[in-house]
Structure 1
Amino acid sequence: MIKSMTGYGLASFEDDSFVVSVEVKTLNSKFLDLSIRSPKQFSDKELEIRNIVSSILERGKVNISIEFNRKSGEELPVGIDETLFAGYYHRYLALANLVGADTSDVFKLAIQSPNVMTQSTEKISVGEEWNVVKEVIHQALMKCDAFRSDEGNVLEKKFNENLNIIKAGLRNVEKEDPVRKDRIRQRIGNNFKDWLEENDFDKNRFEQELIYYFEKVDITEEIVRLGTHLDYFQKNLQEDTNQGKKLGFISQEIGREINTIGSKANDASIQKHVIVMKDELEKIKEQALNIL
């Protein structure tokens, strides 16, 4: 079954400590074009996020937004050794008073002193929190993938409608073709009958030229090939693997046969059906660009 490259997925998680929300939006693209918006504490996880996305969505223009908020402000992103800070502060203050220096920067010096602030607590929490965030990302991506499958089902129905109209046009062309050939024979016969009788002309050579001419305007092969391409297109709609690019190539071949039928037939009644087939094919080509 085909999948659309247009998709949307939203997943969230909430407990007593924090809230996580992940939103995924996708559009069509030849390759995986990933844009990530995430909190700073997960900035080093971009490669891991990319690997998760590529394993599920494979390709397309993907925008993923990660929201992470702690419920309490008591948990700081750094650890502070208050005893060590107080020791530094009082020592610097005493030294400043000893020499009569300005004491306005003592607090800044103390807080920036070695080992006063550490990130060990944050590292532990980020590791635990990241596991939760990663699971929410996975859920959002799976929902987006399911959305793509649903969109693919809608597109498949539309493709079949377009293909059925083209097939109907092809059947009409097949019906009109013998009538077209008879008209060509009558027209040539009427135009050359008197001329052949009045002039000394090799009738065998003339018949050979007529056969050559009819081969040039014969569209039997194009009709057969077009029917084969249409069947092949429908067959690929049922394949499990990604078919977007292949469907695009097949639609090009369909267009080539339709154009050849129109130009070789050179017939007004057939041209009407050709125009209808071309119109439906353009709809197929436009939608095929959005197939994974």
Structure 2
Amino acid sequence: MPLSMTGYGRKVLHIENTMVTIEIRSVNHRFLDIAIKLPRTFLFLEDKLKKTVQTQFNRGRIDVYINIEGDGFANRTLEADWELIDQYVNHLNEAKQKYYLDEKISLAFLSSKQEFFQIKETGDSLEHAHQLIIEGTLEACEQVFRMRQEEGKYLTSDLAQRLQEIHKTVLRLREKRDIVRKEYQERIMERIRAYLGDEVSKDGKFYQEIVLLAEKGDITEEITRLLGHIEHFEKTMNSPEASGRRLDFIIQEMHREANTIGSKSTDVTISEWNVSLKSLIEKMKEQVQNLE
């Protein structure tokens, strides 16, 4: 059964003197798009968190917000990459001599280079805290999954109900099809007789042409394909695999057949039923856009 792409999850962690709040919001998207927003000092966790979230979802825009309050992670040290600084200064001095430059290398200039200095957290429990944040993110993902699952059940139920209505409408079109084809043949015959009188019965070609004209308005193939699409949609919808894209493709095919019926139809009743059919298909298409 497909999942909805809308969901929300929240997990609060208390680690020493620090409170970590993890919030995850999921909305519709054609593909899987993950955005992680967390404090600058924890940016090194971004890749791990993204990979963690990727294992849980197939489609949707996933926003992960991590907020940290307290001083439990306040033990930090400033580390300098002296080897890189030495190379940088030596190259600058060489450039000064080569190009006869007088400008001095200032402390402000060196401190502005982020690659020279790095703030690192310290403490024996820090690695454990990072693992707790990843586990907390997984728990929030599970909440999102359950919400998406519940919403998916509701959407699937709604789609199943609309699919039944579509099936009934297509069966009515099928019943009406033969009557309409016969009436169309008779109308053609009446018009030809009005112009040619008894000459019609003397030429068998007229009857062949009448049959060909009637066939142009025949919707048998479209109805057959629609019934096949309905069966395929139902099987796909009840499949345990994520199926939103496939359902969307089937809906497009159903819409194409309904458009063809509309272009062929010469009967007022069939045209009215077809308008209702297209409306149902359009509503299903809107719902399918919400499925993973």
Question: Equivalent residue for 1:78?
Answer: 76
Instruction: Write the distance in 2 (CA, Å) between the matches of 1:12 and 1:75.
Output: 16
Q: Which residue of 1 aligns with 2:46?
A: 46
Unaligned runs of 5+ in 1: 81-117
1:18 equivalenced with 2:18 (yes/no): yes
Counterpart CA distance in 2 for 1:160 and 1:148 is 18
Following TM superposition, by how much is the alpha carbon of 1:246 offset from its aligned partner in structure 2, in angstroms? Answer: 0.8
- Where do 1:200-215 residues align within 5 Å? 203-215=203-215
CA contact (8 A) 1:248 1:289 kept: yes
Give yes or no for contact 1:29–1:61 (8 Å, CA) kept in 2: yes
Counterpart for residue 176 of structure 2: 176
Secondary structure of the residue aligned to 1:13 is strand
Q: Which deviates more from structure 2 when the two are superposed, residues 122-131 or residues 143-152?
A: 122-131
Q: 1:68, CA displacement in angstroms?
A: 2.1
| 3-state secondary structure, aligned to 1:69 | strand
8 A Cα contact 1:42 1:130, kept in partner: no
Q: How far did 1:155 drift? A: 0.6
Query: What's the offset of the Cα at 1:49?
Result: 0.8
Residue of structure 2 in register with 1:261 after alignment: 261
- Alpha carbons of structure 1 residues 27 and 74: separation in structure 2 relative to 1, 3 Å: closer
- Equivalences for 1:134-213 in 2 at 5 Å? 134-199=134-199, 203-213=203-213
Q: How does 1:88-127 map onto structure 2 within 5 Å?
A: 122=122, 124-127=124-127
Identity over aligned residues, as a percent?
28
**Which is further off, 1-10 or 186-195?**
186-195
Give me the whole-angstrom Cα distance separating, in 1, the residues matched to 2:211 and 2:131. Answer: 76
What corresponds to 2:226 in structure 1? 226
The whole-number CA distance in structure 1 between the counterparts of 2:166 and 2:245 is: 21
1:86 corresponds in structure 2 to none
**1:42 CA displacement:** 1.6
Question: Scaled by the length of structure 1, what TM-score is found?
Answer: 0.80
Match of 1:87 in 2: none
* TM-score, normalisation: structure 2: 0.80
CA distance in 1, matches of 2:34, 2:73: 32
User: What is the total number of aligned residue pairs between the two structures?
Assistant: 253
Per-residue deviation, 1:51: 0.4
Q: Per the alignment, do residues 79 and 217 of structure 1 end up closer, same or farther by CA in structure 2, a change over 3 Å counting?
A: closer
Instruction: Work out whether residues 78 and 119 of structure 1, in 8 Å CA contact, stay in contact via their aligned partners in 2.
Output: yes
1:59–1:280 distance in 2 versus 1, CA, 3 Å: same
Q: Write the distance in 1 (CA, Å) between the matches of 2:121 and 2:191.
A: 98
Q: Could you say what the CA RMSD is over the residues aligned between the two structures, in angstroms?
A: 2.2
Gaps of 5+ in 2: 79-117
> CA distance change for structure 1 residues 263 and 143 in 2, over 3 Å: closer, same or farther?
same
Is the Cα–Cα contact under 8 Å of residues 189 and 210 in structure 2 kept in the other structure? no
Closer, same or farther: CA 200–21 of 1 in aligned 2, 3 Å: closer
Q: CA deviation at 1:123?
A: 5.4
Check conservation: 2:76, 2:119, Cα contact below 8 A: yes
1:79 is displaced (CA, Å) by 5.9
SS at match of 2:177: helix
Helix, strand or coil at the partner of 2:55: helix
Shift of 1:35: 1.6
Q: Deviations over 1:213-263 (max 9, x none)?
A: 122111111111101101111110011222111111111110111111121
Q: Retained in 2: the 8 A contact 1:77–1:119?
A: no
Tell me, yes or no, if structure 1 residue 61 matches structure 2 residue 73: no
- Asked if 1:216 corresponds to 2:213, the answer is no
Offset, 1:189 = 2.4
Aligned amino acid, residue 207 of structure 2: E
Q: Distance in 2 between matches of 1:237 and 1:245?
A: 11
Query: How much does 1:27 deviate?
Result: 0.8
Corresponding residue number in structure 1 for 2:83: none
In terms of mean alpha carbon deviation, does 40-49 or 225-234 score higher? 40-49
Shift of 1:121: 6.3
Confirm or deny: 8 A CA contact 2:12 2:22 kept in the other structure: yes
